[in-house]
Amino acid sequence: MEPEKQETVVWREDGMPANSRFGDVYRSRGLQGDAGWSQARHVFLKGCGLVVDESTREHTGATAWAHAPRWQVLETGFGLGLNFLATWHAWREDAARPQRLFYSAVEAWPPEAFDILRSAAPFADLIPLAQQLAARWQGLLPGFHRMEFEGGRVQLTLAVGQAQPMLGEMTGQFDSIFLDGFRPRLNPQMWDLHTLKAVSRLARRGGLAASWCVKGEVRERLITCGFVVERVAGLPPKRHALRARFDPSWQPKGRAEAPALPLPEKTTPRRCVIIGAGLAGASCAYSLAHRGWQITVLDRAAEPAAGASGLPAGIVSPHVSPDDRPLSRLTRAGAQATLARARALLTDGVEFAVTGVLERHAPGERRLPAKWYSESETDAMKATTYSAEASKTAEKAQQAGVPLNETDLALWHEQAGWVRPAALVRSMLAAPGIEWNANQNAHRIELAPSPDAPAWRVLDDSGAVLAEADLIVLAAGFDTRALAGITLPLNALRGQVAFGPMPGGPHDAVLPLFPVNGHGSLISHLPLQNGALWVTGSTFERGNARAELHDADHAHNRERLAELLPLASAAVDSQWTDGQAKAWAAVRATLPDRLPAVGSWDITLVSGEAEAATHVPPLQLCTGFGARGLTLTVLCGEILASWLHGEPLPVERSLADRLRAGRFNA
Ligand SMILES: Cc1cc2nc3c(=O)[nH]c(=O)nc-3n(C[C@H](O)[C@H](O)[C@H](O)COP(=O)(O)OP(=O)(O)OC[C@H]3O[C@@H](n4cnc5c(N)ncnc54)[C@H](O)[C@@H]3O)c2cc1C
């Protein structure tokens, strides 16, 4: 039986939103229902110096974030999002706004999109922002969710879960801290010493915290945590609000991680060379260029996406597991990140589409435990899939021409679809600040001989210098191993797909409008300039690092399609004999734990280099994506850039740590 759904937000007759669990209102008590924005501005934005105090304008003049390259705001209780919307609005209005705004917030009980819109409804200027937020408000399962606005210049990281553990999973050095939440009497955990200690671990020295809560115990705890606390004028009728500066008299221990390299904040952009113009290289290039790096991408091929990323089309979909293991959580965040990037850069319906994906397994295949289908209303299932209602899955299976029987295992992924990876690579490489150089075969990486030169050099097999840079990212798929050293346990996994033209006429109708994935996969109705395409595959051959075509694989792909989708297979079957069905193959790179390798990597240095290496940014890797590059590379590019810059991560710290390339450094 489905558990009774409890509405989180209840709208009272006076227009005030209240929380059903805490029995408290979302605005400070004593304020009118439409005073939310005033409270956000007065208590939080003014408290942290992010809007100019009109009364003292002559004296203060500038906002605290004026001209900063980035600004990081932490909020302990996201609620209905008014503080976020008010901060975003203030950022838009401020001519001296920081280049990038990171807003990280915790929320144990996310409201519905409808509640966000209703809460912002009295404030005409906030409505368009609330609409953008509401449009991204989906699939908010426990864990971290990254939402990008303003072309990536405003980043919201929503941590869904209890404050203390979620704060422990955050990274960053926050400049402004909004201490918000239901009243201490009703929600004591939010204001206890453990939570405030977790907050202080994330505060930048000199950063300001603000709150409407001026309770004596809370002030004392903040002082214990290293804040210098003062009471300031509150928003009438409240007499006081709280302002606190993080300035401990001791050197704080257990800080959230420092940036991997000391990055000057305001100097001229520095140079980065990326080897490999596939999805991994282009994703890193895009994320770093956004942070002001001058990027050169080198590839030995004549065109971008010449390796595995040249796949005609691939599926972007989360992996599911009964225990919601790290790969599942990462692919959930990754699918969101890839589809958001695709929405920003590609043509919908032509280069990508969020069609939903049907995952279907034959009885006896043990990828999904049987209970996932037969007990589809269980919490376990709800916790690990976006839209897993059995009826939707059954409806989609019916549409795909493979009605389910009781022993079939299937799942419908709503937030999933297909992408043309080469189009995504090309559009990311076209971003400002990125230069792409063809026919550059990198053979060796070395440290520059002189400390005056940029730290790293890339050489070809004749010893000629191809490029010099302050930072190098190796994103050369399986060939990263040759450049990074053999201690990186990358394995080659050759794969082949088959593709052909849509059969046309009534036959088209039996090819599903969304990808079907299972033991083999089919993506169809892929528009081309003339006509449309279907793609099926793929094969897996361990240990073969050559992108060669095999007849046996072609036949195998034909057989597997017949098993996965018999009707669709029959509609295109003649194409295997008349030569219309073509094959494409490439090499994937995999690692033993099936997770990619991202971030700093120690290479063996020749004598004389070792000393110099202490002063240079470590070599960076981004590889090992196996069969999930479309789903994971965009996310990993962001993780790599966030680590380098000491920014809030788009996923939980513990999850990102599992990807560290250094786990393979002996
Ligand atoms: C058949 C098949 C089907 C797939 N289906 C899917 C799918 O449906 N969904 C999904 O998520 N993923 C899928 N994948 C996986 C996905 O394609 C890969 O994970 C992803 O493309 C890897 O990207 P990459 O940038 O790491 O590597 P690549 O795209 O291989 O890029 C590496 C680049 O490095 C360059 N390079 C290598 N060595 C050097 C050097 N020494 N100097 C200069 N340049 C160099 C290469 O020319 C290449 O351009 C599939 C893969 C295959 C093979």
Assess if residue 365 is contained within a domain.
Answer: no
pLDDT of residue 18: 75
- State the closest ligand 1 atom to the C-alpha of 626, by its place in the atom list counted from 1: 19
Q: Distance between CA atoms of 316 and 450, rounded to whole angstroms?
A: 45
Does residue 177 contact residue 50 with C-beta atoms inside 8 Å?
Answer: no
Residue nearest to atom 18 of ligand 1 (CA): 629
Number of domains in the chain: 2
Assess if residue 383 is contained within a domain.
Answer: no
- End position of a domain, from candidates 212, 246, 280: 246
Same domain? For 134 and 56 the reply is yes
Same domain? For 208 and 297 the reply is no
> CA nearest 315: which of 628, 558, 633, 622?
628
Residue nearest to atom 39 of ligand 1 (CA): 476
Same domain? For 74 and 184 the reply is yes
- Distance, CA 219 to ligand 1 centroid (Å)? 54
Average pLDDT, the chain: 87
> CA nearest 83: which of 124, 114, 52, 129?
129
The tens digit of pLDDT for each residue in 165-204 reads 999 999 988 999 999 977 777 788 888 999 999 999 999 9
Assess if residue 390 is contained within a domain.
Answer: no
Token look-up 């409806």 returns: 395
pLDDT of residue 225: 96
Q: Are strands 491-501 and 541-542 parallel, antiparallel or unpaired?
A: antiparallel
Q: Distance between CA atoms of 343 and 351, rounded to whole angstroms?
A: 10
Residue nearest to atom 23 of ligand 1 (CA): 279
pLDDT of residue 4: 45
Mean per-residue pLDDT, 223-237: 91
pLDDT of residue 371: 41
Same domain? For 470 and 607 the reply is yes
Helices (H), 303-435: 326-345, 371-374, 379-384, 390-399, 421-429
Assess if residue 528 is contained within a domain.
Answer: no
State yes or no: pLDDT of 92 exceeds 90: yes
Same domain? For 151 and 241 the reply is yes
Assess if residue 189 is contained within a domain.
Answer: yes
Q: Distance between CA atoms of 99 and 265, rounded to whole angstroms?
A: 11
State yes or no: pLDDT of 581 exceeds 50: yes
| Span of 225-234, 254-263, 353-362 with lowest mean pLDDT | 254-263
Same domain? For 135 and 275 the reply is no
pLDDT of residue 21: 72
- End position of a domain, from candidates 204, 230, 246: 246
Q: Distance between CA atoms of 340 and 115, rounded to whole angstroms?
A: 23
Q: Distance between CA atoms of 639 and 238, rounded to whole angstroms?
A: 42
> CA nearest 334: which of 614, 542, 626?
626
Assess if residue 36 is contained within a domain.
Answer: yes
Same domain? For 121 and 184 the reply is yes
Same domain? For 91 and 211 the reply is yes
The residue that leads in pLDDT, 261 or 211, is: 211
Confidence tier at 461 by pLDDT (50, 70, 90): very high
Residue nearest to atom 35 of ligand 1 (CA): 276
State yes or no: pLDDT of 305 exceeds 90: yes
Q: Distance between CA atoms of 497 and 165, rounded to whole angstroms?
A: 43
Same domain? For 286 and 169 the reply is no
Sheet with 294-298: list strands edge to edge.
Answer: 434-437, 294-298, 271-275, 471-474, 619-623, 597-601
**232, β-bridge pairs:** 241
Does residue 85 contact residue 105 with C-beta atoms inside 8 Å?
Answer: no
User: What are all long-range contacts of 591-595, with beta carbons under 8 Å and residues at least 24 apart?
Assistant: 591/489, 591/490, 591/491, 591/624, 591/626, 591/664, 592/489, 592/491, 594/327, 594/626, 595/326, 595/327, 595/330, 595/624, 595/658, 595/659
> Which token pair is 5?
């759904």
> Which CATH number fits the domain that encloses residue 184?
3.40.50.150
State yes or no: pLDDT of 486 exceeds 50: yes
Residue 219 is part of which domain span?
Answer: 9-246
Identify residue 386 by its one-letter amino acid code.
Y
- Distance, CA 587 to ligand 1 centroid (Å)? 7
Same domain? For 182 and 278 the reply is no
> Which CATH number fits the domain that encloses residue 632?
3.50.50.60
Same domain? For 55 and 20 the reply is yes
Does residue 8 contact residue 20 with C-beta atoms inside 8 Å?
Answer: yes
pLDDT of residue 266: 37
- Distance, CA 106 to ligand 1 centroid (Å)? 36
State yes or no: pLDDT of 408 exceeds 80: no
Question: Whole-model pTM?
Answer: 0.91
Residues 6+ apart with CB under 8 A from 79: 26, 107, 111, 180
Q: Give the binding-site residues of ligand 1, using a 6 Å CB cut-off.
A: 275-281, 298-301, 306-309, 311, 314-315, 421, 440-442, 475-477, 479, 495-497, 537-538, 586, 588, 623, 625-631, 633
- Distance, CA 49 to ligand 1 centroid (Å)? 47
Identify residue 194 by its one-letter amino acid code.
H
Assess if residue 101 is contained within a domain.
Answer: yes
Assess if residue 351 is contained within a domain.
Answer: no
Mean per-residue pLDDT, 425-438: 97
Same domain? For 187 and 276 the reply is no
| Span of 121-135, 363-377, 445-459 with lowest mean pLDDT | 363-377
Mean per-residue pLDDT, 493-501: 97
